[in-house]
Amino acid sequence: MKLAFIIDPIQTLDPCHDTSVALMEAAHIMGHEVWVTQASLLSVVEGKAWAILERVQLVPIELVDGRWVAANPWYKSSECNFMCLETMDAVFMRTDPPVTVSYLYATYILDYIDQNKTLVINSPSGIRAANEKMYALQFTKVIPETIVSADKQVIKQFVETKETAVLKPLGNKAGEGILILQPSDRNLNSMIELSTLQGRVPVMVQSFIPDAKEGDKRIILLNGEPIGAVNRLSAKGEFRNNMAAGGTVAKTEITPKEHEICSQIAATLRIDGLIFVGIDVIGGYLTEVNVTSPTGIREIDRLDGTRLGHQVIQWVEQAKNYKLSTINL
């Protein structure tokens, strides 16, 4: 197959951490062509999505004494062409958030790929529908008590009722801007004002989950089915469990309750074309649904001895073969 990956500049990626590299590496090992591009290099020409694509070959990383080690250089690029994306068997949209106007415009361009010819993972319309904080609100049975508001009084009343709450900006990533709110904090008004830009931008506020000290579990779902998980633990002096905030990772299992959460959201994910997803679970509650460029594969593979990237590419192979067989019927 020919697979295109829309990523941040490849030289900025960490081959020992980034899931995008894990997916590209798996495709390369399995004998497929790997092409890369960036959101800013997409175009629509004569009603079709095109891109400036660069073909790359990757040197697989190796596990040495319990840690990933990459070659230097870990990739080699060759030909570069302006190509119609429908010449690809699949296109992975893996640009990191935040979801800016430019990001949204890129998803509109990807709408001009005929998905009967080329798989797009994840669906452009699905990405637009799934703000990574807001999307979880429809699954009311499995999320903590949550409000979304820009109104200071509404937020303060919720905090006073819950005694401790967590504020999350709707558009940030990697734990950026997350705050612990308590009624007794003399900075409470200022924190709300700053986070809402003086009441102009809504934020999410959730009841604090005491089990957060036990970690924030990232579960990877492939077409609605959980395929692996890793527990993220906060650094000393830090309440956020995000790896980008200095958190560490630990081996974990997916509990029966977490399997039930996955089952409850699976059908909706499939309807929205959200094939490769990372959900965050704290204390048995769903807190986020990550659809833009969910990560965690490298950590899960290192701890569990798995190759989740291979599973994803195998799924793409099977999906492509299924499409071909239905077309030929």
pLDDT, one tens digit per residue, over 38-76 is: 999 999 999 999 999 999 999 999 999 999 999 999 999
Instruction: Identify which of 196, 286, 197, 299 has the alpha carbon closest to the alpha carbon of residue 251.
Output: 299
Stretches where the chain sits below pLDDT 70 are 174, 235-246, 323-329
Active-site option among 168, 217, 298, 302:
168
Which pair of tokens denotes residue 41?
Answer: 């290099």
Q: Output the pLDDT for position 325.
A: 57
Q: Output the pLDDT for position 192.
A: 96
Q: Output the pLDDT for position 114.
A: 96
Active-site option among 94, 162, 218, 298:
218
DSSP sequence for 191-258: HHHHHTTTTTS-EEEEE--GGGGG-EEEEEEETTEEEEEEEEEPPTT-----GGGT-EEE-----HHH
Active-site option among 133, 217, 298, 302:
133
Catalytic residue status for 162: no
Catalytic residue status for 160: no
CA distance 78 to 157: 58
Active-site option among 217, 240, 298, 302:
240
Q: Count Cα atoms within 13 angstroms, Cβ side, for 88.
A: 32
Torsion from C-alpha of 203, 206, 209, 215, nearest 10 degrees: -30
Catalytic residue status for 186: no
Catalytic residue status for 218: yes
Q: Output the pLDDT for position 159.
A: 97
CA distance 127 to 284: 25
